[in-house]
A and B are shown apart, each in its own frame.
Chain A
């Protein structure tokens, strides 16, 4: 016993280091494998408030740009209304229910230079935000909510190891999965595209709507280049993302109002 205590005393520096490091690695792996775990929900109102203070100061510098962007978006939406109102009468008889509900939010913190990037938004559970809701910018998709506190929410950016999005090539309706492998935040990658699918530079990539997180047809980006991989069987495409993650400010949180119903259907299907 005395020897044990003597040993512990002699090597307490190394032992304490190993103990704390093991604890750190435990937290880290837990959040990596299962990013919705309780530990990663460090979404908290305190950190949100601190980021808000920073945002309140810096947002004044980009007010003009923000206004221009919103004005442009307004104009585009007005055009769409004008166009749709012509069609409205003809489809009024079989109008579908609106499945998706949009909630405007503001980015209070955002990173782009890490391997796994997170966005913090100024809307939380009090505003009806729940995990697994999609985030879109006026230009395209941006991420998905993974944790909420009362007034803030944390979202996994599209620039994240675990953010894989189901997408579709607009001109031929082929499905694919888009991921981000780090490095330049302008570009994401689509792998495993069968070679018979023709890929042209500039082709548009949109969301497929299969994940229930994003509505169908939201802009993701355009093909920058495509090259053959896997011994000639598959193509890989480099996608220029339409969202400028470096200037993410005003975004929309998308709620799928039939999410519960769809989830229970999928669950039934997988239980069989």
Chain B
């Protein structure tokens, strides 16, 4: 299938999963899993920087559109997109990956993908929850939400990636 269409379907699927199902998950009032950043995680390595940033910003804005939170998810996902090249360099070990074009499970392996995704998801959640509460007074409860939500998001993301793992040709 055309890569562009596949990407668009992935984006629509993730945003719908987020706003129709995951936003209704309520565990103790502290856990809010977010899986839509997976779209940015799975963009090809070779994507130009400006396009990566624009993709992050507009993906977040699309989620904001459904949640009446203008700028909140746009800012957080933009931050994730901004950090992505640095995190790729960090987890790959100072060089760009040579033998793969896509940062997914089958090309890069489970351990690599786990390190890559949990680092970026943590940065995204930290940015998101701090901006959401917009106050240092509730820093304790904000950090608790960050710490509790990261593992849930990460597990869901790994499940999705395993579920839609492309078969090796």
Contacts and interface: CB of A to CB of B under 8 A. Distances in A.
A239 interface: no
Nearest to B129: A115
B168 to A, nearest CB: 33
A54 B53 contact: no
B26 A24 contact: no
B107 to A, nearest CB: 24
Interface in B98-144: 131-134, 138, 141
B71 A181 contact: no
Interface in A142-167: 147, 154
Q: Is the interface of B mostly helix, strand, loop or mixed?
A: helix
A17 B78 CA distance: 7
A111 B66 CA distance: 12
Interface string A173-187: 000000001111100
B31 A113 contact: yes
Interface in B79-100: 79, 81-82, 85
B15 to A, nearest CB: 10
A152 to B, nearest CB: 11
Contacts of A112: 26, 29
A32 B134 contact: yes
B57 A24 contact: yes
Contacts of A109: 19, 23
A24 B20 contact: no
Interface residues of A, number: 42
Interface in A77-115: 109, 111-115
Contacts, number: 111
A40 B133 contact: no
Contacts of A227: none
B72 A28 contact: yes
Contacts of B28: 184
Given A17-B53, A17-B82, A113 B29 contact: yes
Interface string B21-63: 0011110111110000000000000000110011001001000
B78 A27 contact: no
Interface string A21-34: 10111111011100
B50 A16 contact: yes
B68 A246 contact: no
Given A20-B57, A40-B70, A185 B29 contact: yes
Contacts of A44: 65
10 contacts: A17-B53, A21-B78, A24-B74, A28-B70, A40-B68, A42-B64, A53-B20, A115-B134, A154-B68, A183-B30
- Which 7 A-B residue pairings sit nearest by Cβ, starting from the closest? A27-B71, A24-B75, A28-B71, A13-B49, A24-B71, A54-B20, A27-B70
Given A13-B85, A23-B71, 6 more contacts: A30-B70, A42-B64, A44-B65, A113-B25, A115-B138, A181-B138
